[in-house]
Amino acid sequence: MTDTDVAPAVPAGTSKTTTSTRRRAWTVTALLVVFMMINFADKSVLGLAAEEIREDLGLTASAFGLASSAFFLLFSISGAAVGLLADRVRPKWLLLAMAVLWSVSQAPLAVGGGLAVLITSRVLLGAAEGPAFPVAQQATLSWFPNHRRNLPGALIVLGITLGVLVAAPVLTWVIQNHGWRSAVAAVALVGVVWALLWVRLGGEGPYATAPTRSGDVRSEGTSAADATTGPAPRRTPYRRILATRTWIGATAAYFGTYWVIAFALVWLPSYLQDALGYSSAGSTQVLMLVWGLGGVVVLGQAGLTGWLLRRGTASRWARGGLGGVLLLIGAAACLALPLAPAGAVTAVLLVAGFGLAGAMSSVAVTTVTELAPADRRGGALGIMNAVVTTAGLVAPTLIGHLVDTHGAEGYRYAVLITGAVLLLSGVAALTLIDPDRDARLLST
């Protein structure tokens, strides 16, 4: 066993080991934040280079929307499959394989090719990136007990925001000065560098589920000795977890968040320029405001949720209630956006509508992690991610069709649909999420 293997449970009173484990926990967390940054930089390339790609390849809005949605063709399937596999194979190696595969999948597009290569590259990239978020969360949260998971979970979500914030100006500069294919090559190369670092420094923590010598699965916080001498714990069927109101509510709420993410990554730059009249530089600034607000909200939600939990507030309100309210505010902003006068009011509503929804990513993951037994978390998170990311398959294609059919007015309809989706998601979070109740039901 090397220093990158699963860390053992920390013995009480061993301050040196505790300090080392904490340092390792935050090192792994930082690496996985960067992992998510690269993941979303990969996703954002097409949106940032939309006009250049459409002109270079002669694509209509519908064709470009189809190419963007192709990313999600295998995204959901691989997310569910690898999520289930993560309960049996160490997340360290799954994450390494993802990083290598998504870099390799972009190489042909960086070299050349037309629409067929674009679609094939995006399909393969989506298959490689589909499980990234749930497996990264699983690996990160394995280093922390439940009451300390809000911050590291939120930091992984923050990696999404940071990825776009860094990618927007850097990749825009690369696209304008060296072409969009160079931007694709750049993000692929960064993925390779990350993989090399992860081989040396990555791993799972003491709260991971580890197989015992007898082949049973050890529950979170259980020592290896106890696991090997005690009776095998009863394993909860996945179908029972997926049938809980909490899992359904968290998944429905997170679907709204991912709809906004897909819209923002693929069509928001074009919406800002073609429908709202922003220049390329102005569009980049608004994008940074949207993602910047998202990052602030994610961290604020994590801090407030942690404070509420420490004061004894039920997770139903500390997580589901807070996340649901943020979704409803975002819904109100999106529904008001098409009716607002052009100018500062439009910008404020757009930033609020798209920026406030992101916190549900962290809420959904920590909620399902709290609900699901330790040996079922990978599958529960992976299947949730598979359902949620179907939003990425539908939204870009639908918006492209609306733009081709109605021109710039199509964006107005797209924003109204987004507001309706967020409204339903917020209601689901407020009415269905209650992990304390459903965890008790699962334990019977």
At CA 336, angle to CA 332 and CA 339, rounded to 5?
Answer: 170
What's the rounded Cα separation, in Å, for the pair 198 and 184?
A: 22
What's the rounded Cα separation, in Å, for the pair 103 and 143?
A: 27
pLDDT band at 17 (very low <50, low <70, confident <90, very high): low
Condensed to tens digits (0 to 9), the pLDDT of residues 391-413 reads 988 998 899 899 999 998 999 99
Q: Closest Cα partner for 159 from 295, 26, 263? A: 295
Structure-model confidence comparison of residues 308 and 235, the more confident one: 308
Counting runs of H as helices and runs of E as strands, what totals does the chain give? 22, 0
CA distance readout (Å), 148 to 305, 320, 377, 391: 11, 17, 17, 30
pLDDT band at 1 (very low <50, low <70, confident <90, very high): very low
Cβ neighbours of residue 255 under 8 Å, at least 6 residues apart? Answer: 387, 388, 390, 391, 421, 425
CB–CB of 286/272 below 8 Å?
A: yes
pLDDT of residue 323: 95
pLDDT of residue 209: 53
Q: In the predicted model, is pLDDT for residue 7 greater than 50?
A: no
What's the rounded Cα separation, in Å, for the pair 169 and 46?
A: 14
CA distance readout (Å), 331 to 86, 141, 257, 305, 351: 34, 30, 11, 21, 12
The CATH H-level superfamily of 22-205+237-443 is: MFS general substrate transporter like domains (1.20.1250.20)
pLDDT of residue 233: 57
What is the sign, positive or negative, of the torsion defined by CA atoms of 35, 73, 407, 60? Answer: positive
**What are the beta bridge partners of residue 217?**
211
What's the rounded Cα separation, in Å, for the pair 325 and 30?
A: 29
Q: What is the pTM of this model?
A: 0.73
Q: Closest Cα partner for 369 from 359, 360, 379? A: 379
Tokens 């934040």 label which residue? 33
pLDDT of residue 115: 86
CB–CB of 11/223 below 8 Å?
A: no
The least confident of 62-76, 112-126, 349-363 is 62-76
Q: In the predicted model, is pLDDT for residue 364 greater than 60?
A: yes
pLDDT (mean) for 9-25? 64
What's the rounded Cα separation, in Å, for the pair 144 and 306?
A: 13
pLDDT of residue 436: 92
CA distance readout (Å), 186 to 103, 180, 264, 280: 10, 10, 21, 21
pLDDT of residue 319: 93
